[in-house]
Amino acid sequence: MSLFGSATTSTGQTTTTGDISKDVALNSPPEDSISDLAFSPVSEHLAVASWDKKVRIYEINDQGQSEGKAFFDHEAPVLNCCWSPDGTKVVGAGADKAARMLDLAANTTTAVQVAQHDAPIRCCHMISNPGNAASPLLVTGSWDKTVKYWDLRQATPIATVECQERVYTMDVKNKLLVIGTADRYIDIINLDNPTTFYKTLQSPLKWQTRVVSCFTDATGFAVGSIEGRCAIQYVEDKDSSSNFSFKCHRENPPNNRDISNIYAVNAISFHPVHGTFSTAGSDGTFHFWDKDAKHRLKGYPSVGGTISSTAFNRNGNIFAYAVSYDWSKGYTANTPQTPNKVMLHPVTPEEVKPRPGARKTSYLPTLAPILIESGMHRELTNYALSIDRSIDHSKLLHPSLLPTYRLQIQKKKVIKTRSHFPAAAAAVAPAVFCTQHRANNVTQVRHIIDIWQSTGNQNICLVLFGQDRITSRHDVEDGGVVEGQKKGAFFVGPPPKSVLELEEKFYKEGYDLGLSDGAQAGYTEGSVFAVEKGFEKLLELGRLYGKALVWAQRLADSNIPPLNQTGDTEDSTGTTFGNNRSGVSDEFLIEPALCQVMPALPEGSRLAKNIQTLLSLLDPATLSLENTEDAISDIEDRLKTASLKAKLIQRALGERDDVSGNLNPHSGRDAQMQGDGSGSIEDISSLRIRH
């Protein structure tokens, strides 16, 4: 007999929305708010802690039928409960400042006190005892700002750890103990050294921590907060690029898109087999997620009340959730109609299996130097042509960039269509070619594939961004094309190993999901859009950097003394610039005198200072290439500031804002609005003035 009598998919379930019509209620539930659920690690027994001062133990059969087996009392509301590793003991922790244990193997109904704190005990967990496997240890966390370790045979703790604040939540997996406290502190302990914090950090979420839950492999943990947001956090710094957060348990009123109703994330539970996880909140919904694919596997409709706690059983085929008031709106919202029940949801593999081939990384940080230099290549070329089309603009490039640049020119001679390859990968291997060519049909894509294959280098990955979707997947499968959704990306050939082969699998998954479910296409398209925006921002950084390099060199060339003068010049700060008297550091200059054919820039300390500031903002060596929110925000802030600074310099020089987009920037109506070319920042001749 299958679980709950049926293994078939209900008619109320779709590929993205789950069905709760087959969920079964637990018999004889608690009489007050339910605070915690915990499954036995060895059997189908469920412990339920509640505010009615009791811990109840239920037995569940394959049909979802439940029967109460035991219970024990506290002197105040019970806030947490847990099982011993062998499933013979249950511990409850409560507002009576005590932890009490019931030994099920002893066939007794009386619980004994095994721990004591100076304030209510909020959390408890049992862990293996390295010195005596038959006698596990108890870990308790309290509002008295301490975590204590207890040998159940002793009346006093064997160790105490002082925390910064009150303990709100705690979880343990293998050797990993994670503690969430007030003021958003998160303490991490390696149980090989249980009395010392391995690491302490602030929660990546901006509001009060509600719950922490450890990954099944103990490499990290999830954090939920009262702001309807969840964060995935890895313990080791080397994995920090995989940290991220996402919004959940929010709803937008139908008549106002600018306002969201935000609900607390009350519970996070990891699946014991697949490593995926659930979130549940005050909005009365629960969802299953795949953290590695950054994807919601299944969402479920409201259950008719807030969900205060959740738990998977040992095999992961039963998901228990408590529909009970969570006190998020104070005592006035706790009405007699508020439900108190525990529901059992039969879990199918399709609901919780992770997406195949997912990776825990993003390739944009890896490609950032390539994209920045690609944008710099393009801007150096376009800017030089906009000044004088007869310039041999290849001389504008740094010597290290010339091999890639020449390869780019060689490939452009081969292309006969509108395809355009901005220069890519600055003398690094494997190279990456990227294009924003409109891949409108298979023929054009095949033409680009032929060019890629003609390089003879199978370490090169071709990245195509297309505005339109190729209609026939079979026409391109044998050519190695992996199709994305509309406004998507196409990856041809083996991607760079430095990217961990993420691209091919990511977009293949997006394609398959798009075919199977139209609703899923929105997620895929949104992901691809985010990738495109990342490419665009990094290319724009490179474009501005190239423009700043030209300005710096023109300023330096305009200040070079006559050839009969020699010797170094030292500025007032003691910095040696050689023959460079521009005020711009030598490290930012191109090969001297290459820009002398362009119009000279006027001398001026303010102009030099602004160019130097712009170069410092855009210097690739100072960019953080981690895949973190802070790094992304830093790049966005730099790009915004650099764009404003570039416009300021352009106005001072009397140039158009978009020089690179027009080969003759000094023609037409705009020429009447230019500055006087003096380099004065106060030049306002380009502004529209109402007389």
Q: What is the pLDDT of residues 544-561, one digit of tens each?
A: 888 887 788 777 765 544
DSSP state of 239: G
Show the tokens assigned to 406: 């020449």
Residue 235 has pLDDT above 90, yes or no: yes
pLDDT by residue (tens digit) across 427-451? 222 233 333 334 444 454 455 455 5
Local structure of 187: helix, strand or coil: strand
Lowest mean pLDDT among 405-409, 427-431, 512-516: 427-431
Residue 97 has pLDDT above 60, yes or no: yes
Residue 8 has pLDDT above 90, yes or no: no
For 444, list phi and psi in degrees, rounded to 5. -65, -40
Residue 318 has pLDDT above 80, yes or no: yes
Task: Say if residues 620 and 371 touch (Cβ distance below 8 Å).
Answer: no
**pLDDT of amino acid 549:** 79
**pLDDT of amino acid 108:** 82
**pLDDT of amino acid 558:** 57
Show the tokens assigned to 601: 């820039």
What do you get for the CA distance between the two ends of the chain, in Å? 88
Between CA 548 and CA 558, with CA 552 as vertex, the angle to 5 degrees is 145
H-run or E-run covering 434: strand 432-435
Model confidence at 537, in pLDDT bands (50, 70, 90)?
Answer: confident
For 511, list phi and psi in degrees, rounded to 5. -65, -50
Model confidence at 167, in pLDDT bands (50, 70, 90)?
Answer: very high
In whole angstroms, what is the distance from residue 91 CA to residue 126 CA?
A: 8
**pLDDT of amino acid 522:** 46
In whole angstroms, what is the distance from residue 215 CA to residue 123 CA?
A: 18
**pLDDT of amino acid 447:** 54
510 burial via Cβ count (<10 Å: 0-12, 13-18, 19+): buried
**For 31-162, CATH number?**
2.130.10.10
**pLDDT of amino acid 547:** 81
**pLDDT of amino acid 346:** 94
**pLDDT of amino acid 39:** 96
Task: Say if residues 26 and 342 touch (Cβ distance below 8 Å).
Answer: yes
Model confidence at 512, in pLDDT bands (50, 70, 90)?
Answer: low
**One-letter identity of residue 263:** Y
In whole angstroms, what is the distance from residue 83 CA to residue 101 CA?
A: 9
**Look-up of token digits 């009060």:** 208
Task: Say if residues 462 and 415 touch (Cβ distance below 8 Å).
Answer: no
All residues at 6 or more sequence positions from 26 whose CB lies less than 8 Å from its CB, including other chains? 46, 48, 58, 60, 66, 320, 341, 342, 343, 344
Local structure of 616: helix, strand or coil: helix
**pLDDT of amino acid 74:** 96
Better pLDDT: 393 or 205: 205
In whole angstroms, what is the distance from residue 312 CA to residue 413 CA?
A: 61
**pLDDT of amino acid 198:** 95
Lowest mean pLDDT among 16-30, 79-93, 174-188, 673-687: 673-687
pLDDT by residue (tens digit) across 172-197? 999 999 999 999 999 999 999 999 99
Query: H helices within 437-519, ranges in order?
Result: 442-454, 474-477, 502-516
DSSP state of 427: S
The 10 Å Cβ neighbour count of residue 252 is: 11
**pLDDT of amino acid 577:** 34
**pLDDT of amino acid 249:** 92
Residue 563 has pLDDT above 60, yes or no: no
Model confidence at 15, in pLDDT bands (50, 70, 90)?
Answer: low
**pLDDT of amino acid 610:** 86
In whole angstroms, what is the distance from residue 511 CA to residue 307 CA?
A: 35
In whole angstroms, what is the distance from residue 45 CA to residue 526 CA?
A: 42
In whole angstroms, what is the distance from residue 283 CA to residue 275 CA?
A: 24
**Peptide linkage before 430 cis (omega within 30 of 0):** yes
Better pLDDT: 432 or 75: 75
Mean pLDDT over residues 41-54, rounded? 95
Domain limits, the chain: 1-25+276-357, 31-162, 181-227+229-262, 364-532
For 64, list phi and psi in degrees, rounded to 5. 85, 0
Q: Which of 123, 47, 117 is nearest to 87 (CA)?
A: 47
In whole angstroms, what is the distance from residue 638 CA to residue 565 CA?
A: 39
Q: Which of 263, 259, 316 is nearest to 286 (CA)?
A: 263
Residue 329 has pLDDT above 60, yes or no: yes
DSSP state of 608: H
**Dihedral (CA of 211, 214, 216, 219) sign:** positive
389 burial via Cβ count (<10 Å: 0-12, 13-18, 19+): exposed
H-run or E-run covering 206: none
Q: Which of 660, 16, 668 is nearest to 296 (CA)?
A: 16
Mean pLDDT over residues 249-274, rounded? 85
DSSP string of 619-650, one letter each residue: -GGG----SSHHHHHHHHHHHHHHHHHHHHHH
141, β-bridge pairs: 123, 147
Residue 587 has pLDDT above 70, yes or no: no
pLDDT by residue (tens digit) across 131-164? 777 789 999 999 999 999 999 989 899 999 999 9
Mean predicted lDDT score pLDDT of the chain: 72
pLDDT by residue (tens digit) across 473-508? 333 333 333 333 333 333 444 433 434 444 455 555
Most confident of 302-316, 323-337, 362-376, 457-471: 302-316
**pLDDT of amino acid 327:** 84
Residue 365 has pLDDT above 80, yes or no: no
Lowest mean pLDDT among 80-84, 304-308, 498-502, 534-538: 498-502
Query: H helices within 336-464, ranges in order?
Result: 349-352, 364-387, 402-414, 442-454
Lowest mean pLDDT among 265-274, 330-339, 344-353, 570-579: 570-579
Q: Which of 81, 125, 74, 127 is nearest to 97 (CA)?
A: 74
**pLDDT of amino acid 475:** 34
Lowest mean pLDDT among 76-85, 242-251, 364-373: 364-373
**pLDDT of amino acid 505:** 55
Model confidence at 394, in pLDDT bands (50, 70, 90)?
Answer: very low
pLDDT by residue (tens digit) across 624-657? 766 666 777 788 888 888 988 888 888 888 776 6
DSSP state of 586: G
Lowest mean pLDDT among 31-45, 46-60, 488-502: 488-502
Residue 597 has pLDDT above 90, yes or no: no
Mean pLDDT over residues 209-237, rounded? 94
In whole angstroms, what is the distance from residue 38 CA to residue 58 CA?
A: 11
In whole angstroms, what is the distance from residue 614 CA to residue 555 CA?
A: 14
pLDDT by residue (tens digit) across 660-688? 433 333 333 333 334 444 443 333 333 33
**pLDDT of amino acid 452:** 47
